[in-house]
Structure 1
Amino acid sequence: MIKGKTINGLMRHLRDNHGISISGSKNKKDLLNMGYFHGYKGYRFIRRSQNQIPFTDFDEVVAIYKFDANLKAAFYPDIMFIETAIKNYTLNTLISKGPVDFDYVFTNFLNDYKKHPVGSSKYRSKMKNRLKLRDKIHQSISYYYSDQRAVIQHFLHNNKPIPLWAIFEVISLGEFGFFLQCLNEPTRIAIAKDLGVHSTSHNQNGRIVEEIIYLIKELRNAVAHNSVVFDCRFRNAEPPARLKQYIQHETGAANITFDNIVDYFIIIIFLLKKLGISKTELKKRIRRFSEESERLRKTIPISVHTSIMGSDFKNKISSLLNYL
C-alpha cells in the first residue's frame, strides 16, 4: 500500500528536503490549486530536469506557474485562429486549381513523388508518405463517423465525396502539416504566395508553410493539453535553419533559435500580421507579453528570468515593434 502526503506533509517536505520557504494559508491554497506533481515538480527546472531552478521561496514557484498559465491563456486563441486561417487559405488556393474532393486532390496535388525518378529512394519515400497520409485521413473519417460528427455523416449518408474543407475540420494540426508536406511544389508555392510568406532568397521550395505548421503544432498541443510551455520543453525537433533565417529576415529580430518562448511569440505576431490583424491589436499583444515578462522578472532572481526569456529579450521585443 502506498501512503501519500497530505498538503501539510508536502509543505513540510518542501521546507525540509528542498530548502523552500513555504507556510501559511496562501501558500497552502497555491500548492493545492497547482498541485505538487503538476505544479512544483513541473516548474522546478528549465527545459531539462537537471537544470534545476534554485528556488528559495514558494512564491517564486507560484510566479513561474502563473506566468506559464497566462502565456497559455494568451496564446491559445491566436494559435486556434492561425490554424483555422491557414487551412482556409490552403482551401482557397486549391479551389482555384480545381475540385476539392479528396480523391481529386490526392491524384492531382498530393503527388510530390512524381518529380523523382520512378523507384528511386526519394520516389519511394514520398510515395510512402502519400499513402500514409491517405490512411491517416481515412482513419480520421472512420473515427469521426463513429463519433457521429455531423459534417462527416452528412456526406457519407448522402453518398457524396467528402470535400477537403470537411476533412480539414477533423484532422489534427500535425496531419494538416503532413498534408502540406505531400503537396507538389507548384501547389505549395501557390499557398505560400497566397499567405504572403513565399521567399525565393531562402530556398523555401514552398516548404515554409509546412515548417511553420510543424513548429507551432508542438506549442499548440502543449497549450491545449495544459502542459508546461514557459521554457519550450515541448519542442521535439530542431526547427529548420531556413525557417529561423526567414523569420529573422522578415521581423528584424536577431538570434531566432526557438530556445526561448519569446521566439514563438515572434512567429505568432508575424503570422497574425500576415493574416491581417491590425497594428493596434498586435501592439496590445506585445505589451501584454512584455508586462507578463516584467511581472515575472520582479518575482524571481534575475539570472533565472534571463535563463527563461533570454539575455536579448528586450532587443527582440524592440525589433518586433519596429517590424509592425
Structure 2
Amino acid sequence: MVRGKTTNGLMRHLRDTHNISISGSKNKKDLLNMGYYHGYKGYRFIGQSQNKIPFTNFDEVVAVHQFDTNLKTLLYPNIMLIETAIKNYTLNTLIGLGPVDFEHVFSHLLNDYKKYSVGNSKYRDKMKKRLDLRDKIHESITYNYSDQKAVIQHFFHNNKPIPLWAIFEVINLGVFGFFLQCLNQDTRIAITEDLGMHSTSHNQNGRILEDIIFLIKELRNAVAHNSVVFDCRFKKTTPPARLKEYIQSATGIANIMFDNIIDYLIIVIFLLKKLGIPKTDLKRIVRNFSTESEKLRSEIPVSVHTSIMGSNLRNKISSLMNFI
C-alpha cells in the first residue's frame, strides 16, 4: 500500500529535505493551488532536471509558477490566431491554383517527390512522407467523423468530397506542417509570397513557413496543454540555421537561438506583424511580456532571472519594439 503525504507533510519535506522556507496559511494555499508534483517539481529546474534552481524560499517558486501561468495567458490567444490565419492564407493561395478537394491537391500539389529520380533515396523519403501525410489526414477525418464533428459528417452524409478548408479545421499544427513540407516548390513559394515571407537569400525554396510551423507547434502544444513554457523545455528539435538567419535578418535582432522564451515571443510578434495586426496591439503584447519579466526579476535572485531569460533580454525587447 502506497501512502502519500498531506500538504503539511509536503511542507515539512520541502523544509527538511530541500531547505526551502515554507510556512503559514498563504504558502499552504499556494502549494495546494499549484500542486507539489505539477507545481514545485515542475518549476524547480531550468530546462533539464539537473539544472536545479537554488530556491531558498517557497515564494520564489510561486513567482516562477505565476510568471509561467501569465506567460501562457499572454501567448495562447495570439498563437491560436496565428494558426488559424496561416491555414487561411494557405487555403487562399491554393484556391487560386485550382480545385481544393483533397484528392486533387494530393495528386497535383503534394508532389514534391517528383523533382527526384525514381529509386533515388530522396524520392523514396519524399514519397513516404507524402503517404504518411495522407494516412494522418485520413486518421483525422475518421476520428472527427466518429466524434460527430459536423463539418466532416456533412460532406460524408451528402456524398461530397471533403474540401481542404474542412480538413484544415480538424488537423493539428504538426500535420499542417507536414502538409506544407509535401507541397511542390512552386506552391510553397506562392504561399510564402502571399504571406510576405519569401526571401531569395534565406528562403529560396519556400521552406521557411514549414520551419516556422514546426517551431511554434511545440510552443503551441505546451501552452494549450498547460505544460511548463518559461524555460523552453518544450523544444524537442533544433531549429534549422536558415530559420534563425531569416528571422534575425527580417527583424534586425541578433542572437536568436530559441534557447530563451524571448526568442519565441520575437517570432510570434514577427508573424502577427505579417498578418497585419496593428502596431499598438503588438507593442502592448511586448510591454506586457516585459512587465511580467520585470516582476519576476524583483521576486527571484537576479542570477536566476538571467539564467531563465538570457543575458541580452533587454536589448532584444528594445530591438523588438524598434522592429514593430
Match of 2:148 in 1: 148
Match of 2:135 in 1: 135
Q: 1: distance between equivalents of 2:37 and 2:95?
A: 49
Residue pairs, 1:101-140, within 5 angstroms: 101-140=101-140
| CA distances 1:18-48 after superposition (whole Å, capped 9, x unpaired) | 0100000000000000000000000000000
Measured after TM superposition, the shift of residue 119 of structure 1 is 1.3
Match of 2:41 in 1: 41
Measured after TM superposition, the shift of residue 129 of structure 1 is 0.7
Match of 1:197 in 2: 197
Q: 2: distance between equivalents of 1:16 and 1:123?
A: 60
SS at the partner of 1:286?
A: helix
SS at the partner of 1:201?
A: coil
Corresponding letter in the other structure for 1:29: K
Corresponding letter in the other structure for 2:11: M
SS at the partner of 2:148?
A: coil
Match of 2:271 in 1: 271
Measured after TM superposition, the shift of residue 278 of structure 1 is 0.5
Q: 1: distance between equivalents of 2:283 and 2:70?
A: 17
Match of 1:97 in 2: 97
Match of 1:179 in 2: 179
Match of 2:260 in 1: 260
Match of 1:157 in 2: 157
Measured after TM superposition, the shift of residue 134 of structure 1 is 0.6
Distance 1:204 1:56, change over 3 A: farther
Q: How many residues align?
A: 324
Q: 2: distance between equivalents of 1:168 and 1:36?
A: 38
Residue pairs, 1:4-23, within 5 angstroms: 4-23=4-23
Corresponding letter in the other structure for 2:266: I
Corresponding letter in the other structure for 1:319: S
> Would you say the 8 A contact 1:230–1:261 is kept in 2?
yes
| CA distances 1:115-163 after superposition (whole Å, capped 9, x unpaired) | 0011110011101111111111111111111111000000010000000
Find runs of 4+ consecutive structure 1 residues off by over 4 angstroms. none
SS at the partner of 1:298?
A: helix
Measured after TM superposition, the shift of residue 252 of structure 1 is 1.1
Match of 1:75 in 2: 75
SS at the partner of 2:201?
A: helix
What fraction of aligned residue pairs are identical, expressed as a percent? Answer: 77
Q: 1: distance between equivalents of 2:238 and 2:204?
A: 17
Match of 2:220 in 1: 220
| CA distances 1:196-251 after superposition (whole Å, capped 9, x unpaired) | 11111114410000000000000000001100000000000000111001111111
Q: 2: distance between equivalents of 1:277 and 1:130?
A: 34
Match of 1:169 in 2: 169
Corresponding letter in the other structure for 1:269: I
Match of 2:292 in 1: 292
Corresponding letter in the other structure for 1:130: R
SS at the partner of 1:228?
A: coil
Q: Does 1:282 align with 2:286?
A: no
> Would you say the 8 A contact 1:204–1:242 is kept in 2?
no
Q: 2: distance between equivalents of 1:323 and 1:266?
A: 10
Match of 2:207 in 1: 207
Corresponding letter in the other structure for 2:268: I
Q: 2: distance between equivalents of 1:204 and 1:135?
A: 29
**RMSD of Structure 2 on Structure 1 (CA):** 0.6
| CA distances 1:172-210 after superposition (whole Å, capped 9, x unpaired) | 100000000000000000000101111111144100000
Measured after TM superposition, the shift of residue 263 of structure 1 is 0.1
Match of 1:233 in 2: 233
SS at the partner of 1:202?
A: coil
Corresponding letter in the other structure for 1:186: D
Match of 1:27 in 2: 27
> Would you say the 8 A contact 1:63–1:296 is kept in 2?
yes
Corresponding letter in the other structure for 1:192: T
Measured after TM superposition, the shift of residue 9 of structure 1 is 0.4
What are the ranges of 5 or more consecutive residues in structure 1 without an aligned counterpart? none
Distance 1:68 1:204, change over 3 A: farther
Corresponding letter in the other structure for 2:190: A
Q: 2: distance between equivalents of 1:17 and 1:139?
A: 48
